[in-house]
Amino acid sequence: MTHHQIISAKGLEGAAKVRAFCKQLPEVVEKVDGFGHITFRVKGKPFVMMGETDGQPSTAIKTNLTTQEFLLQQEDSPYHKTAYIGQHGWVSILDMDRVPWTEITDLITEGYARTAPKKLRQLLQTE
């Protein structure tokens, strides 16, 4: 299994939606990491990572362990524990079409809030 940058039409479409949402959050920077994943970061720390393996796009989002456990316990869950970093609460979505967009944006917002410094988190509450 190899990790590559996103090249499929479905992956690029998902990345564009996530990018448009993340760019609305305070001080978010997009960066491609050493594995070719698109990452969205605040103050240098990632809270969303997107990649593609064998034509299958995936989106990993930083959550807390309680949220992660809840998502993984759902029947026929579209969520998976993210390889290598799942023990830190990261969950991956392999098929974003199976998850309501509002749920994805809620998780991204939670990931941002868990990663951003307090000063930036407070901006979320005032907007």
Domain map (residue ranges) of the chain: 3-116
**E strand or H helix at 39, and its extent?**
strand 38-42
pLDDT of res. 2? 52
DSSP state of 47: E
Per residue of the chain (127 residues), give pLDDT as tens. Answer: 455 689 999 999 999 999 999 999 999 999 999 889 999 999 999 999 999 988 889 999 999 999 999 999 999 999 999 999 999 999 999 999 999 999 999 999 999 999 999 999 988 876 5
Could you report the per-residue pLDDT of 46-66, keeping only the tens digit for each? 999 999 988 889 999 999 999
Which CATH number applies to 3-116: 3.90.1150.10, 3.40.190.80, 3.90.1150.30, 3.30.540.10?
3.90.1150.30
Structure confidence at residue 53 (pLDDT): 85
Structure tokens, 14? 């998902």
pTM of the full structure: 0.92
Distance CA 9, CA 28 (A): 24
**Residue 42: C-alpha distances to residues 35, 86, 109 (Å):** 19, 20, 12
